């Protein structure tokens, strides 16, 4: 069948060539428009529900909101993990779904259950909100908004009502969270004394104001001809209009609002803040939808901002505080360069080996066609093109060209033999036959390479998300190259050779030398085998000393620093400290700009208190990377009493997705009692503190914080005629006020808030002295009718899988994460836990170990498949075993590559080892199949072995060198941006290949000689 | 730890304060931007705040009422809220007659007319007597005495006639007009018209309340104090400290009236007079500070930002021991004004307290850091 296929391809060569040209043209047309991203979507399908519950403590929020929502959500189809976090006045329930669950189906299921549970939530809770679905690398741009002239309130109005709506309309934008917002509000600051003077109560004023500003339709006027709508004009934003509002009558005299209250524009009590560079400003964080392309979204946002700019007078927009698009562009550029340089090097290599432009060109054509086919296939299947896919294509370059080389090389040899024979056959038959001779080997070799990549498809979680696209890219490229070798290469070879020009298959003098050297080597096969075994043992013995890391550090030029103070720290104090840190950071050479957000903002992905801040800096491209990072680290780490770390966003996000925590090593302690959890967590922390390499060690801040309680003294309250509602109202109005409604101005809406003219601020004493007015008119202090006391309460309560939990987390510095994590596991396993309490190890190391175990398990399975395939190809168990014996040497070469890359096993290196196994098996097959062809079922002599190796050396050498050349740009440039994952992979592949070539060329024949396999 | 020679345990004494110390490097202090302030001693007045209401002194209010029914005309220059001086005309009253009075007037008129006629006749009779007596005298028939008596009788009759004529005219007018006379009422003392209960020209009955004039410098402050606290207070030392009323404190002087209770609130009423009224107005509800009966003491004041509250509500400050050492000290805030807290801790007078950055030091001490 294959023979017929090749024959048909040659007969229909014009059609084949035309189709190939069309394919290239389609590729040239489509590929430049294909959206590219830095990484694939690596986070699982996630739905988050946030419920605001003003005034509820963290424990109340957990009991009254988080747990009912958790119970309602339990059992949703495909739900994998259910987490919740309850903080003061806010509940966040996060659901992670199994891979491949459709986000719309997940959200639909959550929405259905949410409707039911929302009716059972306490009255104080606001309606639960399902956050927009976000991409795994959700933050696509951070925009700093500052002004020398405009106030923060004015900036907030512009940001909220002009900039945000425009950015939200950009396709792919899921959310624009604004930190530092001081949304203007009209504050009605009532004077309790004046109210008493006019014999009015706050409730009366509140009722009148609410009634006046509420929008209610006034019906219709039906005339004989028309229906005319009637509406009541609500107060405008004019302060005077409010002051003239009648709020009550005293002895028949109307009392206006202005008589009892001041009306001023102000803002609500902040729940967060922002720092831009060194001072005040707003930080707009643009988040993208899943699968939205970062580059495209960023470009659209830039365009939107450019449109807005002329209208935004007297304010400065800085869209370069955090711009992952720059990193993506750079990373993709680097990989494109690697592909282009790799192709150029492969071309040079081909011309050098084949010494003729025609055959070299035919082999070279396989590269663009295979790559274009792979990219078109990936696009068609909806797999986004990212750096991992491009890395897969880079690794595949060598093998892509290999299929054509083998084919072309055999055709040339057959044609030359035919030309020198006395009865030359027709060129068509010779080419078909020559192509057919190597076809089996080529197909089996490709199938073997595909088989060894099977384990990658079984990887789960973040590892699977990262490396499956790489495997797809690789496999599509080599599948396409197989088709090219089957169809296009023979057709092109026929066209080239039909011209009648004699093309000799002259072997290079180097290959004669190689044959002679090989003959000499094979005279002492025992020494070779013995030496090889020693080398193998040495390299394998070094494996336990290798370090391990899951995902390498990315060379982003945007840095994220967590800046976390003790819970209960106020927004003002955090801002003060953040400004201090900003000033220091901005003094570092190369730090271009800074944006920081403190606390939280409404409908955003940060469920934190005011004590939590993040500082984002970006550094100039022309400053030394490592040195600047070190300076940033030194600067930020010196703030006593404040937890800090320095990360890049990509790294932080990958860790966050792995464990829900941004540290590399996470020990999650589950149990019911918060005190026990805290005590045991502290015990674990102390056990870890003494270990080398552990940095940023902390127990999750689920500590106890003071909470002020107010409890009515019934007897005293009754004496004054005060009830609980009066106290609650006074507490609300005298502290942060109550929103009465909204007023409109154009498209903008502003809250109207009723608040005391002297709100309680300073300390506990001022709260105790809070003035109350009794129904009989007596004025008294809160402490007269209520106890005001402080009790400890958890600042937050976290749950996972229906149990409370606390995280003990750490990062690793100076040592590899694997060894540190193992030490931690040993230490922690000795800690006694009460019944019902258990520990789960999570984070980067656990994810890597799980991925490695999956890889090893499925690689064993894949090797069985490979064994069966080789056995089918060779029809000899002995030869198959001989070939299998070569694979450990390829792996040993890969291990050497790991040592060259820094001695740390990353997942990229593991994938490299898999690729090496495939290529080694492939080369071995080509040699043994040639041996079998030459021996023609007779005895395999040393001469046959040397001849077979000589025949295949050029193909193998060209394949190996082509792969090496393709990866050389990555190896030479080192782990620069875009090459972080690919660099160790490239080193492993190249060194593994060199070992595999040596093993196949020297060790394999030696083994065959020693095991007497050559004499039947 | 065991003593090697005697094999007895060695006592280790440790002050609790040693455990509350934080040491920072100079760089860390600079980075944190710690701010400090000296703790100063100031006179501390422990007072309590009580609700109060402004009212008028009993003698401050003058009510004006109509002495009789009549038409009341207000002085055209006066309006509600105007100041009046003593002796200034406030209003005029034109009294009006009732139907009974009118009937009485008519009866009187009728009687008067009868008397008038009778008087006329009497005059005529007396004139005849006089003329005859004069003729007889001229004829030397009568005596001079008879003439004189007749002349006197005539004069008396004429006088009676005139009187009755006048009475008749008056009665006629009274009957015709229904009223009689205009009465002027003047201000007894200076003050402000606080209430006006009539319209100028209105007919009012006797005893109607016309207007109130208040002497504004005679307001009283009624403070409502729970009975149980009376004995703990220095009632003679009270003041108003409310920025909404006056920038300065307004001292109050206690008026020695018998204490009485407010039935609605169950509290005692203590009455004060204010030395100057500022923005005070009658019926206004305010708060009054009354000094407690504790001896006057000196107290320490420090910025409220220096205080850190622990999870049990304990209030702490950080004292600067030297350039790099800070000690945590428990304090009890007894009072506060804007941004300043008063603490009871005499031994820290003159010490330097961390006024900004205490939260970070507390975080360091409680392990919340690197």
pLDDT digits (tens, 9 = 90+) for B192-228: 888 888 888 888 888 888 888 887 767 788 887 877 6
User: What would the mean pLDDT of B270-291 be, rounded to a whole number?
Assistant: 76
CA angle, B104 then B110 then B116, to 5°: 130
Query: Would the CB atoms of A568 and B359 count as touching at under 8 Å?
Result: yes
Smallest CA–CA distance, residue A801 to chain B, in Å, is 28
In this structure, what token pair is assigned to residue A549?
Answer: 């890391």
Query: Would the CB atoms of A584 and B315 count as touching at under 8 Å?
Result: no
Chain A residues inside the 8 Å CB shell of B304: 762-763
Smallest CA–CA distance, residue B188 to chain A, in Å, is 29
Of B28, B284, B287, the CB nearest to A771: B287
Of B309, B312, B370, the CB nearest to A643: B370
Question: Helix A357-380 to helix A489-498 angle, to the nearest 10 degrees?
Answer: 150
Query: Would the CB atoms of B313 and A779 count as touching at under 8 Å?
Result: no
Cα A215 to Cα A753: distance, rounded to the nearest angstrom = 16
* Residue B300, strand partner residues: B41, B343
Rg (CA), chain A: 36
CATH topology of domain A2-33+327-541+875-1010: Multidrug efflux transporter AcrB transmembrane fold (1.20.1640)
Summarised one tens digit per residue, pLDDT across range A416-432 is 777 777 777 777 788 88
Tokens 């060569």 belong to residue: A13
Query: Would the CB atoms of A640 and B366 count as touching at under 8 Å?
Result: no
Chain A residues inside the 8 Å CB shell of B359: 565-566, 568-570, 573, 641
| Domain assignments of chain B as residue spans, ordered by start | 17-43+297-365, 47-58+216-292, 99-177
- DSSP for A424-453, please give it: PPPHHHHHHHHHHHHHHHHHHHHHHHHHHT
Tokens 């945590």 belong to residue: B328
Summarised one tens digit per residue, pLDDT across range A255-302 is 888 888 889 888 888 888 999 887 888 999 999 888 788 888 899 999
**A-contacting residues of B 32-91, CB under 8 Å?**
32-33, 49, 51-53
Smallest CA–CA distance, residue B177 to chain A, in Å, is 39
Q: Does A885 touch chain B (CB under 8 A)?
A: no
Chain A residues inside the 8 Å CB shell of B333: 763-765
Chain B residues inside the 8 Å CB shell of A792: 311-312
Q: Among A703, A690, A807, A639, which Cα is nearest to B366's? A: A703
Chain A residues inside the 8 Å CB shell of B315: 763-764
Q: Looking at residue B368, what is its pLDDT?
A: 62
Query: Would the CB atoms of A197 and B336 count as touching at under 8 Å?
Result: no
Instruction: Kindly list the strands in the beta sheet with A738-745, ordered across the sheet, starting from the edge strand earlier in the chain.
Output: A261-267, A184-190, A748-756, A738-745
Cα A963 to Cα B223: distance, rounded to the nearest angstrom = 97
Q: Does A889 touch chain B (CB under 8 A)?
A: no
In this structure, what token pair is assigned to residue A905?
Answer: 């096993």
By CA distance, what is B24's nearest residue in A?
A640
User: What would the mean pLDDT of B246-255 be, rounded to a whole number?
Assistant: 81
Of residues B3 and A43, the one with the higher pLDDT is: A43
Q: Looking at residue A301, what is its pLDDT?
A: 92
Does residue A41 sit in helix, strand or coil? coil
Q: Does B290 touch chain A (CB under 8 A)?
A: no
Residue in A565, A638, A641 to test binding to B, most B beta-carbons within 10 Å: A641
Does residue B59 sit in helix, strand or coil? helix
Cα B205 to Cα B198: distance, rounded to the nearest angstrom = 11
Residue in B44, B267, B363 to test binding to A, most A beta-carbons within 10 Å: B363
Q: Does A704 touch chain B (CB under 8 A)?
A: yes
Q: Looking at residue A590, what is its pLDDT?
A: 84
Smallest CA–CA distance, residue B18 to chain A, in Å, is 19
Q: Does A719 touch chain B (CB under 8 A)?
A: yes
Listed in sequence order, the residues at least 6 apart from A907 whose beta carbon sits closer than 8 Å to its beta carbon are A463, A466, A467, A550, A551, A848, A851, A852, A981
Q: Looking at residue A501, what is its pLDDT?
A: 52
Residue in A59, A260, A566 to test binding to B, most B beta-carbons within 10 Å: A566
By CA distance, what is A766's nearest residue in B?
B336
Q: In terms of CATH architecture, what is B17-43+297-365?
A: Beta Barrel (2.40)
Tokens 């030459």 belong to residue: A934
Q: Looking at residue B4, what is its pLDDT?
A: 39
8-state DSSP, B17? G
Q: Looking at residue B44, what is its pLDDT?
A: 59
Whether the pLDDT of residue B10 is over 50: the answer is: no
- CA torsion angle for B54, B55, B56, B62 (degrees, to 10)? 130
Q: Does A771 touch chain B (CB under 8 A)?
A: yes
- CA torsion angle for A660, A665, A671, A677 (degrees, to 10)? -110
Smallest CA–CA distance, residue B173 to chain A, in Å, is 44
Smallest CA–CA distance, residue A611 to chain B, in Å, is 11
By CA distance, what is B223's nearest residue in A?
A778
By CA distance, what is A778's nearest residue in B?
B51
CA angle, A405 then A406 then A412, to 5°: 85
Written out in words, the top-level CATH class of the domain with range B47-58+216-292 is mainly beta
Of A637, A641, A774, the CB nearest to B360: A641
Query: Would the CB atoms of A576 and B356 count as touching at under 8 Å?
Result: yes
Query: Would the CB atoms of A777 and B359 count as touching at under 8 Å?
Result: no
Q: Does A709 touch chain B (CB under 8 A)?
A: no
Whether the pLDDT of residue B370 is over 50: the answer is: no
> Taking a C-beta distance cutoff of 8 angstroms, is the pair B78, B144 a contact?
no
> Taking a C-beta distance cutoff of 8 angstroms, is the pair A117, A72 a contact?
yes
Residue in A762, A775, A791 to test binding to B, most B beta-carbons within 10 Å: A762
Q: Given CA atoms A431, A436, A437, A441 in this order, what sign does their dihedral have?
A: positive
Task: Report residues of chain A scoring pLDDT below 50.
Answer: 502-506, 1013-1016
Query: Would the CB atoms of A566 and B360 count as touching at under 8 Å?
Result: yes
- In degrees and rounded to multiples of 5, residue B48 shows phi and psi of -125, 150
Q: Looking at residue A167, what is its pLDDT?
A: 92
CATH topology of domain A184-267+706-794: 3.30.2090
Kindly give the pairing relationship between strand A36-37 and strand A385-386: parallel
Quick one: pLDDT band at residue B8, thresholds 50, 70, 90?
very low
| Domain assignments of chain A as residue spans, ordered by start | 2-33+327-541+875-1010, 184-267+706-794
Q: Among B189, B222, B164, which Cα is nearest to B60's? A: B189
Q: Does A791 touch chain B (CB under 8 A)?
A: yes
Taking every pair of Cα atoms in chain B, the longest distance, rounded to a whole number of angstroms, is 171
* Residue B273, strand partner residues: B220, B253
Smallest CA–CA distance, residue A86 to chain B, in Å, is 19
Summarised one tens digit per residue, pLDDT across range A718-758 is 877 888 888 888 888 877 788 888 888 777 788 889 988 87
Smallest CA–CA distance, residue A774 to chain B, in Å, is 9
Does residue B336 sit in helix, strand or coil? strand
Q: In terms of CATH architecture, what is B99-177?
A: Orthogonal Bundle (1.10)
> Taking a C-beta distance cutoff of 8 angstroms, is the pair B254, B270 a contact?
yes
Query: Would the CB atoms of B242 and A580 count as touching at under 8 Å?
Result: no
Q: Looking at residue B1, what is its pLDDT?
A: 36
Q: Does A759 touch chain B (CB under 8 A)?
A: no
Cα A549 to Cα A980: distance, rounded to the nearest angstrom = 12
By CA distance, what is B284's nearest residue in A?
A197
Most confident range, picked from A921-930, B104-113, B262-271, B277-286 = B104-113
Residue in B311, B317, B366, B367 to test binding to A, most A beta-carbons within 10 Å: B311
Alpha-carbon distances, residue B172 vs A323, B112, B177 (angstroms): 109, 10, 9
Q: Does B360 touch chain A (CB under 8 A)?
A: yes
Q: Does A749 touch chain B (CB under 8 A)?
A: no
CB atoms within 10 A of CB B239: 19
**B-contacting residues of A 974-1013, CB under 8 Å?**
none
Q: What ipTM was assigned to the predicted interfaces of this complex?
A: 0.70
Of A193, A642, A762, the CB nearest to B286: A193
Cα A418 to Cα A682: distance, rounded to the nearest angstrom = 81
Query: Would the CB atoms of A779 and B285 count as touching at under 8 Å?
Result: yes
By CA distance, what is B304's nearest residue in A?
A762
Summarised one tens digit per residue, pLDDT across range B36-67 is 888 877 665 567 777 777 887 777 788 888 88
Q: Does B363 touch chain A (CB under 8 A)?
A: yes
Smallest CA–CA distance, residue B291 to chain A, in Å, is 16
Q: Among A501, A489, A392, which Cα is nearest to A450's? A: A392
């Amino acid at each position: 069948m294959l023979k017929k296929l090749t024959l048909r391809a040659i007969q229909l060569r014009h059609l084949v060539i035309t189709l190939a040209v069309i394919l290239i043209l389609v590729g040239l047309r489509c590929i430049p428009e294909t959206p590219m991203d830095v990484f694939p979507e690596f986070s699982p399908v996630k739905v988050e529900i946030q419920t605001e519950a003003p005034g509820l403590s963290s424990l109340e929020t957990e009991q009254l909101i988080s747990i009912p929502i958790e119970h309602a959500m339990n059992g949703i189809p495909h739900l994998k993990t259910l987490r919740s976090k309850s903080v003061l006045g806010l509940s966040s329930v996060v659901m992670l779904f199994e891979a491949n669950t459709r986000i719309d189906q997940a959200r639909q299921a959550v929405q259905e259950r949410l409707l039911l549970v929302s009716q059972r939530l306490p009255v104080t809770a606001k309606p639960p909100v399902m956050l927009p679905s976000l991409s795994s690398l959700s933050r696509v741009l951070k925009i700093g908004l500052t002004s020398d002239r405009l106030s923060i309130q004015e900036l907030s109005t512009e940001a909220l009502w002009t900039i945000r709506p425009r950015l939200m309309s950009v396709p792919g934008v899921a959310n624009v969270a604004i930190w530092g917002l001081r949304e203007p509000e009209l504050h009605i600051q009532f004077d309790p004394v004046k109210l008493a003077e006019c014999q009015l109560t706050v409730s009366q004023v509140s009722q009148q104001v609410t009634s006046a500003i509420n929008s209610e339709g006034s019906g219709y006027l039906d005339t004989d001809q028309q229906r005319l709508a009637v509406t009541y004009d609500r107060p405008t934003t004019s302060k005077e209009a409010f002051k003239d509002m009648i709020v009550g009558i005293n002895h028949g005299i109307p009392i206006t609002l202005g008589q009892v209250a001041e009306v001023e524009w102000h803002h609500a009590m902040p729940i967060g803040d922002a720092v831009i560079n060194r001072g005040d400003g707003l930080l707009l964080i643009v988040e993208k939808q899943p699968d939205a392309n970062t580059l495209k979204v960023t470009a659209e946002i830039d365009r939107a901002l450019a449109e807005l700019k002329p209208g935004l007078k007297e304010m400065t927009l800085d869209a370069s505080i955090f711009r992952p698009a720059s990193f993506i562009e750079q990373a993709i550029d680097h990989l494109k360069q690697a592909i282009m340089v790799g192709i150029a090097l492969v071309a040079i290599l081909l011309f050098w080996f084949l010494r003729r432009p025609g055959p070299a060109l035919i082999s070279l054509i396989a590269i663009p066609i295979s790559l274009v086919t792979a990219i078109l296939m990936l696009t068609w299947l909806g797999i986004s093109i990212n750096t991992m896919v491009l890395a897969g294509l880079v690794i595949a370059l060598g093998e892509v060209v290999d299929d054509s080389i083998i084919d072309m090389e055999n055709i040339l040899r057959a044609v030359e033999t035919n030309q020198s024979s006395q009865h030359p056959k027709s060129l068509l038959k010779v080419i078909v036959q020559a192509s057919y001779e190597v076809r089996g080997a080529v197909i089996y070799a490709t199938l073997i390479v595909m088989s060894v990549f099977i384990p990658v498809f079984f990887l789960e979680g973040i590892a699977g998300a990262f490396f499956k696209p790489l495997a797809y890219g690789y496999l599509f490229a080599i599948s396409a190259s197989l088709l090219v070798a089957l169809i296009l290469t023979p057709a092109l070879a026929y066209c080239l050779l039909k011209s009648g020009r004699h093309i000799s298959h002259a072997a290079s003098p180097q290959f004669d030398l190689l044959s002679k050297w090989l003959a000499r080597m094979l005279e002492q096969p025992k020494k070779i085998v013995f030496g090889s075994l020693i080398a193998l043992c040495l390299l394998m013995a070094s494996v336990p000393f290798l370090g391990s890391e899951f995902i390498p550090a990315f060379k982003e030029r945007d840095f994220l620093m967590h800046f976390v103070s003790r819970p209960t720290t106020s927004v003002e104090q955090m801002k003060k400290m953040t400004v201090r840190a900003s000033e220091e950071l901005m003094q570092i050479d190369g730090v271009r700009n800074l944006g920081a957000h403190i606390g939280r903002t409404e409908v955003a992905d940060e469920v934190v208190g005011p004590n939590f801040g993040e500082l984002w800096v970006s550094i100039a491209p022309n400053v030394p990377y490592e040195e600047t990072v070190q300076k940033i680290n030194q600067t930020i780490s010196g703030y006593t009493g404040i937890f800090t770390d320095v990360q890049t966003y990509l790294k932080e996000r990958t860790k966050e997705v792995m464990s829900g925590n941004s540290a590399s090593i996470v020990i999650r302690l589950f149990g019911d009692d918060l005190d026990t959890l805290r005590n045991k967590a502290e015990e674990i922390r102390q056990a870890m503190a003494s270990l080398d390499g552990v940095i940023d060690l902390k127990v999750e801040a689920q500590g106890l914080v003071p909470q002020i309680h107010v409890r009515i003294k019934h007897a005293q309250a009754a004496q004054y005629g005060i009830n609980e509602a009066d106290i609650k109202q006074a507490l609300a109005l005298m502290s942060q006020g109550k929103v009465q409604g909204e007023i409109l101005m154009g498209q903008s809406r502003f809250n109207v808030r009723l608040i005391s003219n002297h709100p309680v601020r300073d300390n506990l004493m001022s709260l105790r002295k809070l003035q109350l007015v009794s129904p009989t008119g007596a004025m008294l202090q809160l402490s007269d009718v209520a106890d005001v006391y402080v009790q400890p309460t958890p600042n937050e309560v976290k749950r996972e899988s229906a149990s409370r939990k606390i995280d003990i987390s750490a990062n690793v510095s100076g040592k590899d994460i694997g060894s540190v994590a193992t030490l931690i596991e040993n230490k922690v396993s000795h800690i006694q836990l009460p019944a019902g309490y258990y520990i789960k190890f999570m984070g980067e190391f656990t994810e890597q170990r799980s991925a490695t175990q999956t890889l090893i398990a499925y690689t064993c399975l894949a090797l069985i498949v490979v064994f069966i395939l080789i056995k089918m190809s060779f029809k000899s168990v002995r030869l198959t075993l001989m070939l299998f014996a070569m694979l450990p040497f390829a792996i040993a070469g890969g291990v050497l590559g790991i040592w060259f890359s820094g001695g740390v096993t990353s997942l990229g290196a593991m994938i490299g080892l898999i690729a090496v196994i495939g290529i080694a098996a492939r080369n071995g097959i080509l040699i043994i199949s040639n041996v079998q062809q030459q021996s023609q079922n007779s005895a395999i002599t040393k001469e046959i072995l040397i001849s077979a190796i000589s025949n295949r050396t050029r193909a193998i050498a060209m394949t190996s060198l082509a792969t090496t050349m393709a990866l050389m740009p990555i190896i030479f440039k080192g782990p620069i941006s875009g090459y972080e994952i690919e660099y160790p992979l490239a080193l492993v592949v190249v060194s593994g290949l060199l070992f595999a070539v040596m093993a196949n060329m020297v060790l394999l024949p030696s083994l065959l000689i020693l095991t007497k396999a050559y004499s039947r | 730890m065991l003593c090697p020679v005697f094999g007895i345990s060695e006592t280790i004494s440790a002050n609790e304060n040693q455990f509350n110390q934080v040491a920072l490097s100079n760089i860390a202090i600079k980075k944190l931007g710690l701010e400090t302030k000296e703790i100063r001693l100031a006179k501390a007045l422990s007072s309590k705040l009580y609700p109060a209401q402004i009212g008028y002194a009993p003698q401050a209010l003058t009510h004006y009422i109509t002495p009789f029914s009549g038409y009341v005309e207000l002085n055209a220059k006066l309006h509600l809220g105007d100041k009046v001086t003593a002796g200034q005309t406030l209003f005029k009253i034109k009294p009006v007659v009732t139907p009974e009075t009118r009937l009485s007037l008519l009866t009187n008129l009728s009687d008067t007319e009868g008397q008038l006629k009778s008087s006329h006749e009497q005059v005529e009779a007396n004139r005849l007597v006089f003329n005859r007596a004069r003729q007889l005298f001229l004829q030397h028939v009568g005596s001079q005495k008879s003439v004189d008596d007749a002349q006197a009788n005539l004069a008396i009759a004429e006088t009676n006639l005139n009187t009755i004529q006048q009475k008749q005219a008056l009665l006629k007018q009274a009957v015709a007009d229904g009223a009689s006379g205009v009465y002027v009422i003047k201000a007894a003392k200076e003050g402000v018209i606080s209430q006006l209960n009539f319209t100028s020209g209105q007919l009012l009955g006797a005893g109607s309340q016309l207007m109130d004039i208040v002497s504004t410098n005679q307001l009283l402050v009624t403070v409502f104090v729970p009975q149980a606290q009376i004995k703990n207070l220095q009632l003679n030392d009270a003041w108003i400290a409310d920025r909404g009323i006056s920038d300065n404190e307004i001292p109050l002087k206690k008026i020695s009236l018998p204490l009485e209770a407010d039935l609605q609130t169950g509290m005692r009423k203590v009455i004060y007079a204010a030395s100057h009224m500022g923005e005070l107005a009658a019926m206004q509800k305010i708060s009054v500070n009354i000094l407690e009966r504790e001896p006057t003491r000196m107290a320490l004041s420090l910025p409220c930002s220096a205080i850190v509250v622990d999870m049990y509500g304990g209030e702490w400050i950080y004292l600067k021991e030297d350039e790099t050492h800070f000690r945590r000290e428990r304090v009890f805030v007894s009072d506060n004004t804007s941004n300043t807290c008063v603490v009871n801790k005499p031994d820290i007078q003159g010490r330097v307290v961390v006024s900004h950055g205490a939260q970070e030091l507390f975080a360091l001490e409680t392990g919340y850091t690197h």
